[in-house]
Amino acid sequence: MRRRQFLQTTGLAALSAATLAPTSADAKNRPNVLMIAADDMNDWIGCYGGHPQAITPNLDRLAKRSTVFHNAHCPAPICNPSRPSMMTGLQPATTGHYFLSPPFETVPGYDGATTLPQYFAEHGYHTMGTGKIFHGDTDQHKFFQEHGPKANFGPRPKKKISYPKGHPLWDWGAFPERDDQMPDHNIADWTVEQLGRDFDAPWFLAAGFVRPHVPMYVPQKWFDMHPLDKIILPPVLDNDRADVPKYGRDLTWGVTPPPHSWIVEHGEWKHAVQAYLACITFVDHCVGRILDALEARGDADNTVIVFFSDHGFHLGEKQYWAKRSLWDRATKMPLMVSTPGQKSGQRCTKPAGLIDVYNTLVDLCDLPENKRLEGQSLTPLLRNPKTEWERPARTTFGQNNHGLRSERWRYIRYNDGSEELYDHENDTNEWHNLAGDAKYATVIEEHRRWIPKVNAPECEGTKGSGWEASEYAQGRRELTRE
């Protein structure tokens, strides 16, 4: 595997930057950064209201001192391209990095990019990371000066619990017995430990949790908090896909997750929803431990906190499961930003992106501008969430398939020119595609102009189930179920 030049030198660059760190009062007084990531977590969080039974007291506590972005979207609806896009500030349409493979370090489209923690190290920060910040195959140690436990999907029972076939990770149920058998627990432990240390430079600490990513396994006690017989299913319209263009239906054929029909026929829908809610409550608990440790520090008030997930998740909406779509369920993810000393929460409905986090942190910490970044700083919205905000949030899934989200509308345009338009003022579930109605021609025109002109070809080594579905949508591959 080729490792690109800019990454080969990273470890050395980071170390020398630390040695040469500016010692001026300015640099020393810069705020610390605490970044907490969840994996595959949609808006089923108390303060987001995405599911009425979400139990997330700690994320709700964080929300009370944050700007909560209620209309924030990922650059790509799948881990592998979404995370490096955020961490380099480069859009998938620029890099050609669209699906589950290859690892981003091998993609020439990122050449010359400086990842977020590297950039902070270059400007005098002490950088630490643990868990899932970049995607699985990436050796992320080299992007941080210190690194804690790596992420993995955790222990698995000898035999799957709920979904006997399909992908080995696709299962849900109560397992293992104790929290300390969960990788996320160890990730929280290590993060808490770092927060007990003294530093003589501002610090950048990133902790990435793996749940609620499948397998949706957490110990029984988290399931008990969400009794199965009381579980409320998400709102789903039968035949919702009928007004989706064929290209969009094919692109969401669902190669990896179980077919929705299987889950319904086997009476597993409520159980899977219960497991997802249980996993979120468990992650919320891990977040709470980190927040407690931060609050015990003397410099807590001089710390920027960012909480996010890499994309959202379907649990039957549009007869579909998991990510890999350009609908709100998959593109929308939680994003909260707490600025130093912030004492009260605020809500922002302007379209924001994970792509904007890098710019925002650079801005909040008063670092020099990184001209490569394609996002924009959200600081005007942190100051006033109602600030005029023209640019929609963009999500890309495969070459030239884009979803755009403005404050009111979702617009999707696929590679073959077919389109969808949803009015979130009247249709938050995106049930009624308005794209064919001449009445909305102006709305569509306003959104179309944000479709990027550069749509890089798929990078070398592109593969994964999202890519297979994309090939199917383009008539280049057949897909069948067993």
Residue numbers of the site for Ca ion (CB under 5 A)?
A: 39-40, 79, 240, 243, 310, 431
| Strand order from edge to edge, sheet including 303-309 | 146-147, 126-131, 203-208, 32-38, 303-309, 335-338, 67-69, 346-348
Q: Cβ 479 to Ca ion, closest distance in Å?
A: 22
Give yes or no for a contact between 82 and 100, defined as CB atoms under 8 angstroms apart. no
Helix or strand (DSSP H, E) at 352 = strand 352-353
Residues 6+ apart with CB under 8 A from 256: 166, 167, 170, 322, 324, 465
**CB burial of residue 177 (10 Å; 0-12, 13-18, 19+):** exposed
151 versus 348: smaller Cβ distance to Ca ion: 151
- Least Cα distance to 214 among 248, 267, 258 occurs for 258
Residue with smaller CB distance to Ca ion, 236 or 382 = 236
Annotated active-site residue 459? The verdict is: no
Q: Which is nearer to Ca ion, 61 or 323 (CB)?
A: 323
Q: What is the Cα–Cα distance from 329 to 419, expressed in whole angstroms?
A: 17
User: 47 exposed, middle or buried (CB, 10 Å; 0-12, 13-18, 19+)?
Assistant: buried
Please, which residue, 121 or 393, has the CB nearer to Ca ion?
A: 393
Q: At what angle do helices 357-364 and 79-88 cross, to 10 degrees?
A: 30
Question: Closest approach of Cβ 315 to Ca ion, in Å?
Answer: 15
Q: How far is the CB of 49 from Ca ion (least distance, A)?
A: 22
* Least Å from the CB of residue 128 to Ca ion: 22
Q: How far is the CB of 202 from Ca ion (least distance, A)?
A: 29
Smallest separation, CB 331 to Ca ion (Å): 12
Which run of H or E residues covers position 357?
A: helix 357-364
Residue whose Cβ sits closest to Ca ion = 79
Q: What are the C-alpha distances in Å from 31 to residues 69, 118, 143, 379?
A: 21, 16, 20, 15
Strands 67-69 and 335-338: antiparallel
Nearest distance from C-beta of residue 311 to Ca ion, angstroms: 6
For residue 34, what are the β-bridge partners? 205, 305
User: What CA dihedral angle connects 420, 422, 427 and 430, to 10 degrees?
Assistant: 40
Nearer to Ca ion, 24 or 239 (CB): 239
- Pinpoint the alpha helices (H) of 255-319: 260-265, 269-295
- Nearest approach, Cβ of 151 to Ca ion (angstroms)? 11
135 is catalytic: yes
Q: Which is nearer to Ca ion, 122 or 430 (CB)?
A: 430
- Give the rounded distance of the alpha carbon of 459 from its chain centre: 21
Q: Is 107 helix (H, G, I), strand (E, B) or coil?
A: coil
Shortest distance in whole angstroms from residue 29 CB to Ca ion: 35
Rounded alpha-carbon distances, angstroms, from residue 354 to 146, 307, 360, 454 = 24, 11, 10, 20
Closer to Ca ion by Cβ: residue 240 or 356: 240
Would you say 189 or 243 has its CB closer to Ca ion?
A: 243
Catalytic residue among 74, 79, 365, 459: 79
148 alpha carbon, distance to own chain's centre: 21
> Which is catalytic among the residues 135, 147, 226, 311?
135
User: Which is closer to Ca ion, CB of 43 or CB of 240?
Assistant: 240
In this structure, the number of other CB atoms found within 10 A of the CB of residue 307 comes to 25
Q: Which residues does the annotation mark as catalytic?
A: 79, 135
